[in-house]
Structure 1
């Protein structure tokens, strides 16, 4: 049975409800008090001083009574200001749901800040069960989440600069690409080489012994690797006789190298901060017990779950929240379609997708499942999402029960349920015909 939500009745007994349409300059607020029959309209400057004065006015007007507020914004200045106010319960509504609800009230497509605020206020009475209350969350998980997101942004910037640097080298100094280290272009040996020989005219004048000594000094001791680079150096020739091309390339190269140096330093600093923060997380033993959950992935996984065991009502809610659960559209017997979920926290979805891919290398049942899905015609990305879907279910139960992951126990459960994964584990040599585990 569907019932309308009355925020003014017991057990809630809120003194007032707010619908807030956030703006960069002004916030449009619609207020409905319990004792009033009409909606009051406010337009408050978005700066902290003006909003703070408005909140204090609510406290003076409604005394010790509680206030229920709803906004489309799930992060930002407005949320940071209101989520700490003790007498305000702040709810978040999906922006797409709010837009569809506004359209149902105004089929002609009318839109304005007052219309949006009014629609949000109405949603409190009709769709309260589809809204979630916002809270800060525990500090250790918030710290890990913020540091991990910042690190991911810096890594993305580093990749962007590295791609630009590679394009630059192909344009004026392609000989250097065969002289760099076997790793990434932002590795110390590659950066040191480009700083010392920023153009081919300088590289051509150097001696072979100098190059050999450079690689030894940088920790590259493989005779085969050094020989291959020196052979490339001996067979190299100038790209062009245009000296200006080299001069401009050296200037641009210097800027890119400096950016990579700074980004490497910042990422290294964040790695230290993340390692120290994760060491203090109360659930570190649980998340470190999963395959491939190393120094980079385990903190990201711990940040997703947090320490509040009541945060997610079910595993399905978590799978949908992080974007791993697919969207299914079924209409009678004529239409049955499945879509990848796109409207979701991209960083969280990326976290589970990356970790599922890594787990294939270290977890026997995950590798067997991956091979099975590929054999069924699934693409690599779809197969990794399917494995992530299974991993979230496992991780959710371990997190709820506060118990570390046990690989052998899960494999025994697969055997008991006669999962098709078991047959693929036998094909890969992880189980014998008697279902005896052959891996440590």
Structure 2
């Protein structure tokens, strides 16, 4: 008799339901989100045939949390079902749109009873990959936080202090440059910038890490900062200067978090056996490779074919067809973190691989726009990566971008 379990999770408790192959409710329970609650859950499962050799599959609406981690550690197959899918399954059992936690647990158990083959269990990744995923995602979040903090500071400075924006307009990092942050720390307003001593500017530039052309850079900054410009009223400018210092502190914290997390992520990633294969690809640095591994994992049974991996990453197109209408477009439902990493990888590969650059140019010549061509390049490289990880071999440019061989018919013609 097939038995399935559904768990409707909450912050401090979880509703559990166990059903059999005929949709009969065998047992239900509300457990707390702690060790005793987990033991109660195991006892309920054991009462209905759960054994180490034949564990009961479990459906839940999240892939994170202590309960999920403990269930996965115990060797059980856990299915993370999208809440939107659960809402549609709920309509199969009732048309009144009533909802309760117990009812949702029953719905989750019935999803596995009827459509288990249409859903993927959580992958059996190693502990090392799970740790890399935590750090890589945290580092990526820190980068996004840093970008938001930079944009907020830049928007604020435009309202009263355009001189500092002009001073670092030619820098690739703009306000993220250490020199820019050092100058803002000692002169958060136009009034203070106009009174800066040359020695103080030189010291700030030196402490920011510059080692060459220090005197020339000091003269350039003083010239820009001392120019006559439009000003806010004195009291308003002072108040805005205090706000700048607060925004600058947030930016400094975000920059430090990015650097610290990047360091530990790279160190942990290099310990993984797949790191050597992943970094052999053009355009994949250590940090980008860590983000990639964090999202695809090291459970090689998770994606049976490269096509499955491409769909998960959102690089493979999707077809919408109805009657005489047929439309092929890019995927909107995807792993957004993996898709963002793929854009960086494809862009970096343009200059690191002649084969990748030629493939990109061919796509542009056929009419693809910039992002469509990059996405197509990422799609191809992702298939190559899947093959190399399965066969345990490094990237080879000559094989990956081998020119098409002429057919025998062409030769006889």
Q: TM-score range by the shorter chain?
A: 0.7 to 0.9
Which aligned pairs between 1:319-338 and structure 2 lie closer than 5 A? Answer: 319-332=310-323, 334-338=324-328
1:82 corresponds to: 71
Which aligned pairs between 1:409-424 and structure 2 lie closer than 5 A? Answer: 409-412=399-402, 414-416=403-405
* 2:142 is aligned with 1:154: yes
Which aligned pairs between 1:29-428 and structure 2 lie closer than 5 A? Answer: 29-32=16-19, 38-58=24-44, 61=47, 62=49, 64=51, 66-86=55-75, 88-180=76-168, 182=171, 183-207=173-197, 211=201, 214-215=204-205, 218=208, 219=210, 221-222=212-213, 228-240=220-232, 242-332=233-323, 334-412=324-402, 414-416=403-405
- 1:340 and 1:68 map into 2 onto residues whose CA distance is 33
| 8 Å Cα contact 2:8/2:101 also seen in 1 | yes
| 8 Å Cα contact 1:327/1:339 also seen in 2 | yes
1:217: Cα distance to partner?
Answer: 6.0
- 2:406 and 2:61 map into 1 onto residues whose CA distance is 44
- 1:23 and 1:216 map into 2 onto residues whose CA distance is 53
Of the structure 1 ranges 142-151 and 122-131, higher mean CA displacement relative to structure 2 is found in 122-131
2:8 corresponds to: 21
- 2:277 and 2:30 map into 1 onto residues whose CA distance is 46
| 8 Å Cα contact 2:306/2:382 also seen in 1 | yes
For residues 328-373 of structure 1, the C-alpha deviation after alignment (integer angstroms, 9 at most, x for no partner) is 11234x0111233222221122111221122122222222222232
Answer 1 or 2: higher relative contact order, Cα 8 Å, separation at least 6.
2
Question: TM-score normalised to the size of structure 2?
Answer: 0.87
- Describe the shift of the 1:210–1:17 C-alpha distance in structure 2 as closer, same or farther (beyond 3 A): closer
| 8 Å Cα contact 2:33/2:67 also seen in 1 | no
- 2:220 and 2:405 map into 1 onto residues whose CA distance is 54
Question: TM-score normalised to the size of structure 1?
Answer: 0.82
Q: Give the secondary structure class of the aligned counterpart of 1:44.
A: strand
List structure 1 segments (4+ residues) > 6 angstroms apart after TM superposition: none
1:5 corresponds to: none
Aligned length: 400
- 2:83 and 2:358 map into 1 onto residues whose CA distance is 40
Of the structure 1 ranges 311-320 and 180-189, higher mean CA displacement relative to structure 2 is found in 180-189
| 8 Å Cα contact 1:141/1:307 also seen in 2 | yes
| 8 Å Cα contact 1:198/1:250 also seen in 2 | yes
Unmatched tracts of structure 2, length 5 or more: 408-413
